Structure 1
């Protein structure tokens, strides 16, 4: 049954343009899209504008602004194709969601997309009134997959540059390491779930080839956050992984590394979930499970304790 949801087997190095067109076509067929309330705006960086799509929840229950970086291997996806997921995120959290349309590879390889995300986050954190709030502490970075990689890297970059960073970040099945070769990867999930499911080892290798063509640069902590020599001073972090995902172990390892560096961390593994589950319908069990944990994270200070991945809430 899980295999029925496998991503199309395409040569991403050659067919990324076709994949983008198919994604846009599919989202255009999503009938509720016509009723999704959002506002289109942009952040200005020099002479260039970075599009940002703002989603308001039907019932706003929190002051938090979720600054969202979409997934898609740094190559596919955009604020249009993630509109259903962001609308669901706004309604399920009761938060405003600001989805960032960062530049994609291979037209704009690393670090172009990362710099877009850094610039948007920095502008909002330096002047939260841009987001319609008074307190920068209400800004939460959120990303899924490659977007979670970008969120983690943004937090690292802002600290390194001496800027105010976010107080909280939510990383959904993040990419944190460069090696997804079953023969050399340090993570068992790469060998257990790297074929036939939603994301494969071959596909993520293709994404890396397009995003960071120079293989040596993939060890840069801004590409592989797990390799950062100093993870101190990072935001309170929620890491959510999917049980049936090749990225599972590296995401949990990053959460543990953050905790070992003295940060407050919660790690949660969604049972039986596939990579990309954040784009499932709101009624899905995996979505309900994940958002229950997300809402608890948004509502409460993280309690001290042992940080251990599980199919349940664990914190440190």
Structure 2
């Protein structure tokens, strides 16, 4: 990075937080900062669960004023598995619906530390399976119309859900979009294999210390941190995964691991496209829709959706 640019970008860095202590305050702040819904979409709150009536998961459905695609985007929000919810992500999901012309369904999965792994993943898998088996619940005609999408920890959950759907049998998603996803569990600059962790893990939007806090809250049992359902890049078998678009942010400590996951998927025979947004920080999809990284990302997403399923 240009040495003159870093001090400017550091102005946008979040203050240092001990997420293990401060996560309730961060949750409240995120909800407070979320803009009020606008007239660009209609929202409907549902609860979706298994056919047997077991646990139901809240889902907020965003319908843009002009629906010009049959695809339905099943969205898993970011926030380190600890923060974020359908309320704090309402502005981002409204933008997603508007920019893609798709119905967007945001899943309000359970959060750590109150509900550590695998609770959140189970919620996301339960909703994905139910929607893929009965796509009409979200207005889709065919399971091919359902696209899994997630940002950061949500990208991690989308990747893990795809692996679970394959391993447990039954229906599976045909496409997934992973936005600057977490794909590994080691974000310590001293031990991580990724250069982006060492170069961008301090002083920017997301720090290594913050990521390590998130992992500890989500996975208090250290023995689980290399589980492929936590670190998809550790999976022994990545075959038979959905057609995948991975979008990374250049100035993000997760950049290299997201791109490495794309390489691993491609090596296993999957159709993959990886796109890096230059000059972008982690979390950029929540910026206003006129921000350059947001416009660039949606241009790439639009082209991916236009290609259709494999």
Q: TM-score range by the shorter chain?
A: over 0.9
- Equivalences, count: 301
CA distances 1:38-85 after superposition (whole Å, capped 9, x unpaired): 111111344432110000112111000000000000000000000000
* 8 Å CA contact 2:37, 2:90 repeated in 1: no
Provide the rounded CA distance (Å) in 2 between the counterparts of 1:254 and 1:293: 18
Q: Could you say which residue in structure 2 is the equivalent of 1:38? A: 43
Indicate which of 236, 240, 261 corresponds to 2:243.
Answer: 236
The yes-or-no answer on 1:110 pairing with 2:117 is yes
Structure 1 segments unaligned to the other structure (5+ residues): 304-316
Provide the rounded CA distance (Å) in 2 between the counterparts of 1:172 and 1:35: 23
* 8 Å CA contact 1:180, 1:205 repeated in 2: yes
CA distances 1:229-252 after superposition (whole Å, capped 9, x unpaired): 000000000000000000000000
* 8 Å CA contact 1:175, 1:251 repeated in 2: yes
Provide the rounded CA distance (Å) in 2 between the counterparts of 1:165 and 1:270: 29
Provide the rounded CA distance (Å) in 1 between the counterparts of 2:67 and 2:139: 14
Provide the rounded CA distance (Å) in 1 between the counterparts of 2:289 and 2:40: 16
Provide the rounded CA distance (Å) in 2 between the counterparts of 1:250 and 1:96: 29
Aligned Cα RMSD in Å? 1.4
CA distances 1:120-166 after superposition (whole Å, capped 9, x unpaired): 00001111121222210000000000000000000000100012110
Correspondence 1:22-61 to 2 at 5 A: 22-27=29-34, 30-31=35-36, 33=38, 36-45=41-50, 46-61=53-68
Deviation at 1:31, TM superposition (A): 4.6
Q: Could you say which residue in structure 2 is the equivalent of 1:313? A: none
- TM-score w.r.t. structure 2 length? 0.94
Provide the rounded CA distance (Å) in 2 between the counterparts of 1:301 and 1:52: 25
Provide the rounded CA distance (Å) in 2 between the counterparts of 1:272 and 1:5: 13
* 8 Å CA contact 1:264, 1:302 repeated in 2: no
Partner SS, residue 106 of structure 1: coil
Provide the rounded CA distance (Å) in 1 between the counterparts of 2:54 and 2:28: 28
Partner SS, residue 219 of structure 1: coil
* 8 Å CA contact 1:176, 1:224 repeated in 2: yes
Correspondence 1:5-154 to 2 at 5 A: 5-27=12-34, 30-31=35-36, 33=38, 36-45=41-50, 46-154=53-161
- TM-score w.r.t. structure 1 length? 0.93
Deviation at 1:9, TM superposition (A): 1.4
Q: Are the structure 2 counterparts of residues 290 and 35 from structure 1 closer, same or farther at C-alpha, using a change threshold of 3 Å?
A: closer
The yes-or-no answer on 1:260 pairing with 2:263 is no
Provide the rounded CA distance (Å) in 2 between the counterparts of 1:5 and 1:172: 20
* 8 Å CA contact 1:55, 1:97 repeated in 2: yes
Q: Are the structure 2 counterparts of residues 32 and 53 from structure 1 closer, same or farther at C-alpha, using a change threshold of 3 Å?
A: closer
Structure 2 segments unaligned to the other structure (5+ residues): 1-7
Provide the rounded CA distance (Å) in 1 between the counterparts of 2:308 and 2:105: 23
Provide the rounded CA distance (Å) in 2 between the counterparts of 1:13 and 1:182: 19
Provide the rounded CA distance (Å) in 2 between the counterparts of 1:269 and 1:302: 22
